[in-house]
């Protein structure tokens, strides 16, 4: 009897989206960043606690998402723990917010410290405490 054996790839590790992070925002040179130093942004069309960036918007502006185990705690010398919150996105993901404003990365920033999204369409701004 011949047997057909299918080999299925095994993926080891944690799969996270482009805007994902494993810790709350950090502060670097007066701006909020992710763990690797990438600049975080806010969007003028967002309301407190709610993201308006959905659909194609998230391709250019990936949400700074949180894991299911992340909690808002800690803070920097200029931000208290209550300044950092987690919001629930319409897609079910948790997203970090600063003073109620959802936080995003900019897909065109090439390296830590880049701020090329600041002022984009007069609606996107570097997140500052």
What DSSP state is assigned to residue 104? B
Torsion of CA 58, 35, 73, 79, to 10 degrees: -90
| pLDDT value for 73 | 60
- How much is the pTM? 0.77
Task: Name residue, tokens 């949400």.
Answer: 63
- 3 lies in a domain? no
- Percent of the chain's residues with pLDDT above 70: 75
pLDDT in tens, 31-77: 999 999 999 999 999 998 999 999 999 999 999 999 878 877 644 44
**Residue 111 domain-assigned (yes or no):** yes
Tell me how many domains the chain contains: 1
Query: Residue 47: which domain range?
Result: 26-126
* DSSP class of 120: G
Q: How far apart are CA 37 and CA 31, in angstroms?
A: 10
**pLDDT reported for residue 81:** 59
Per-residue b/e over 103-112, b at no fewer than 16 CB within 10 Å? bbbbeebeee
Which single residue is written with the structure tokens 């606690």?
49
């Amino acid at each position: 009897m011949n047997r057909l054996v299918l080999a299925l790839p095994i993926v080891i590790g944690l799969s996270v989206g482009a805007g994902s992070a494993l810790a709350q925002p950090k502060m670097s040179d007066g701006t909020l960043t992710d763990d690797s130093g990438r600049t975080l942004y806010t969007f003028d069309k967002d309301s407190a606690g709610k993201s308006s960036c959905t659909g194609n918007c998230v391709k250019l502006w990936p949400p700074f998402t949180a894991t299911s185990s992340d909690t808002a705690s800690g803070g920097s010398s200029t931000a208290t723990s209550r300044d950092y919150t987690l919001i629930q996105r319409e897609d079910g993901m948790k997203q970090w917010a600063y003073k109620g404003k959802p936080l995003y990365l900019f897909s065109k920033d090439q390296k830590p410290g880049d701020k090329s999204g600041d002022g984009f369409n007069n609606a996107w701004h570097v997140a500052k405490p």
